[in-house]
Amino acid sequence: MNAPEVPASGDPVPAPGPGEPGDRERGRRRVLRTLAVACLLCGLGAAAVVWQRAGAAPEASGYQVIDGVAYPLPVEDTKAYARRMAVFGGKALLAADAFLDFLGGLSRSRTVAALLALAGAGGGLCLWRAADRPAIRDEDDVGQDDPL
């Protein structure tokens, strides 16, 4: 672990034992650093999943050829699909389907993947830096272990 601190007088100062004031501070730092690593890993993992899904093409009901290039026609863009949805669930189902399409589109964007990676790294960095800062203690808390 860390070497014991040596004051100006040259005598080594023993590290605080369990239940002593420094023990609580070390526990807080350990928890914050664990949360920082977890935040970073979750952000990077989610970004990797979204990045991998970004290349997936939606299901096509047919193709439209423009200037010699075939473009797939998604099933959701056909009039027959919209009519069946309206007959089955009304306009509310059409609105819900459009909203779910929007959310599904977010998971297929590389920009969103980069944003998730940046947010995970930023959150992890903030938590790591918070672990390095000393805990804020009131004058009333001095000598008390339980703040409640």
Question: What is the tens place of the pLDDT at every residue in 27-55?
Answer: 889 999 999 999 999 999 999 988 888 76
66's CB contacts (< 8 A; 6+ apart) are: none
User: Max Cα separation, the chain?
Assistant: 87
**What pLDDT, on a 0 to 100 scale, did the predictor assign at position 42?**
95
Across the chain, how many H-helices and E-strands are there?
Answer: 3, 2
**What pLDDT, on a 0 to 100 scale, did the predictor assign at position 90?**
86
**What pLDDT, on a 0 to 100 scale, did the predictor assign at position 98?**
84
Residue with tokens 């009519």: 83
| Distance in angstroms (rounded) separating the CA atoms of residues 112 and 84 | 32
| Distance in angstroms (rounded) separating the CA atoms of residues 4 and 13 | 6
Q: What is the pLDDT of residues 89-124, one digit of tens each?
A: 888 888 888 888 888 777 778 888 899 999 999 999
Give phi and psi for 45, each to the nearest 5. -65, -45
